[in-house]
């Protein structure tokens, strides 16, 4: 998830003009983002929900990796069973 939080993004400047360049991590952690023409003041409750969403994604990612590891183990075990239990026919 660190990669996601380091991903660069742009927000439109609230006062018009250019864009504010930032990262998702900054939006989640900083209380405000400013430019010369305006600023965003973030509400903690929404940042907290964003942190919860990131935490949930991390949890799901770990579960996926664990499930994938088990599925791969099962696959190779099944493959080995197919090969080891095959009837062998030798042609002369």
Q: Which two tokens stand for residue 46?
A: 């929404």
Question: Quick one: pLDDT at residue 77?
Answer: 98
pTM given for the model? 0.74
CB 76 within 8 A of CB 69: no
Give burial (CB, 10 Å; 0-12/13-18/19+) of 65. Answer: exposed
As a whole number of angstroms, the distance between CA 64 and CA 90 comes to 43
Each residue's pLDDT tens digit, 4-19: 999 999 999 988 878 9
Distance CA 22, CA 26 (A): 6
Residue 74 CA to its chain's centroid (Å): 26
For residues 4 and 76, give the distance between their C-alpha atoms in angstroms, rounded to a whole number.
Answer: 32
Q: Count the neighbouring beta carbons within 10 Å of the beta carbon of residue 29.
A: 13
Q: Tell me which residues of the chain have a pLDDT lower than 50.
A: none
């Amino acid at each position: 998830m660190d990669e996601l939080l380091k991903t660069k993004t742009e927000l439109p400047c609230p006062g018009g003009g250019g864009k504010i360049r930032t990262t998702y991590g900054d939006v989640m952690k900083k209380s405000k983002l400013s430019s010369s023409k305006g600023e965003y003041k973030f509400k903690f409750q929404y940042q907290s929900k964003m942190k919860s969403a990131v935490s949930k994604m991390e949890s799901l990612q770990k579960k996926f990796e664990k499930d994938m590891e088990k599925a791969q183990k099962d696959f190779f075990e099944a493959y080995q069973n197919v090969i080891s239990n095959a009837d062998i026919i030798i042609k002369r």
